[in-house]
Chain A
Amino acid sequence: MNAVPVRVELPFHLRNLAQVNGEVRVEVAPPVTIARVLDALESRYPVLRGTIRDHDTQKRRAFLRFFACQEDLSHDSPDKPLPEAVASGNEPLLIIGAIAGGGDQPFRQTRSGTEF
């Protein structure tokens, strides 16, 4: 089947890293899944490899979330088809940085700040 343009909204820092403004569109062959969208995204913007999911395990980084169509898809299987509205390009897949966090482990967040 033909690839379809999927809309993806990146967080601020990843837009800067990829040097893009606003929403991006990537061509994804059906079935449109998070894994396939990320494959296409990383293929087009190689600098994003390792920033959304781990290089090797391909697991989502702990402080990123995936939303679409007012649903939290973060804990879905990366191979589960995305909602039709995303697959058809009507709605974007939102990649969101958690509002809190950014440390690596709960230990860090309970301290007043990382010391070197």
Chain B
Amino acid sequence: MSKVRVLAGTRKGAFVLTADGKREKWDVSGPFFAGWEVYHMKGSPVNPDRIYASQTSGWFGQIIQVSDDGGKTWNAPGGGIQKSPQGFPMGESNRFVYDSAAAPLTTHQWYDGTQHPWEFKRVWHLEPSLTDAEAVYAGVEDAAIFHSKDGAHSWKELPGLRGHGTGPNWQPGAGGMCLHTIVLDPSDPNRIYIAISAAGAFRTDDGGKTWKPINKGLRSQFLPDQDSEVGHCVHHIAMSPRRPGVLFMQKHWDVMRSDDAGDSWREVSGNLATDFGFVIDVHAHQPETIYVVPIKSDSEHYPLDGKLQVWRSKSGGCEWEALTNGLPQKDCYVNVLRDAMSVDQLDDCGIYFGTTGGQIYCSPDGGDTWKPIVRDLPPVLSVEVQTLA
């Protein structure tokens, strides 16, 4: 029988939640890296027991951890499971250095509109390669994309993105100027989509050498020129691997859709009660079925009227229904952050999301009913799901 493994990054450590295909009884392990923020964890599609984790701290900086046994044990690469002669861990995987030779370290826009130098802060998102378990991309703050070909031992920037030339017009969102979304195209290994708050979405068609902004159709009231090429606060992008080129976006405000690989976008917010939010995802088997969690507003980051609702569209947007069965419908004031929703590959497709209140909810039936897997974790930063044979 198939199993699922949920990888939850939280404000105070990482947790691994496992269940069989019924998704009723869960084992919870963790916290791993207790006391550290774990922004994101994700397993390799090639080797599901290979999991990458971003462990970070405002005090101590960035660590990358790697597991080769499905999250039971972890090592900071640089020596892997090998220890120094004294028996101490040898890892040194936290070296993220901008390639200033290829793309000079310029400035980006600061909150007050002045220019501010690029500075590495942390890794927001890890995206393992679709074809090589040793290869992984990292989206970082201040916004840039890095690549490792050796299991996260060493990292090199893909400087064409940061060096695109529009950098002085990129600006941080409330969480910082972060590259938080990386989507790999399974039909074209040279095509990668990324999103930055607040610069917008970009695409490469040559494996990361050059990038183009793909923000046509996005409108952002906080910009002097609402149709600006860059500067948009894209919160998340999702794509069904079954239909590459069709993208769904939760922007700061507005839910958007592109049918031409991001070359143009149209709004599909339709009848959503509010179209502000962070997460968006696509059903594993129905590429026109998409999910969002509406949040009241950019000033009030909690559900409308204290009712936690996932909204589902079975028509690729515009027509939405509220899913509430099993979710709190009063006095609920949590948020659902941008990397905190995921789907499994089972039939029925399971939908999962985590909240800043520490709950992780699972719907084993495509969103019709929901149950909490856990209720009292630290604030959940990210949720990824692996479907295991």
Residues on A close to B: CB < 8 A? 11-14, 16-20, 44-47, 49-52, 55-56, 61, 63-64, 97-98, 101-104, 107-108, 111, 114-116
Contact = CB atoms under 8 A, between A and B. Distances in A.
Contacts of B97: 55-56
Contacts of B58: 63, 101-104, 108
Interface of B: 34-36, 57-63, 76, 78-79, 84, 86, 88-92, 94-95, 97, 111, 119, 121, 124, 173-176, 178, 180, 278, 301, 335, 337-339, 381
A60 to B, nearest CB: 11
A61 B56 CA distance: 13
A104 B60 contact: no
B153 to A, nearest CB: 12
A97 B59 contact: yes
Contacts of A46: 78-79, 84, 89-92
A115 B38 CA distance: 14
B188 to A, nearest CB: 29
Nearest to B382: A116
Given A47-B76, A107-B111, A116-B180, A13 B62 contact: no
Nearest to B110: A107
A51 B237 CA distance: 32
Nearest to B94: A50
Given A11-B60, A18-B88, A102-B59, 9 more contacts: A13-B35, A13-B57, A16-B34, A44-B88, A46-B90, A55-B97, A61-B60, A108-B176, A115-B174
B61 A47 contact: no
Given A55-B97, A114-B174, A64 B59 contact: yes
Contacts of B36: 13
Nearest to A116: B337
A115 to B, nearest CB: 5
Contacts of A103: 58
A43 to B, nearest CB: 10
B62 A50 contact: yes
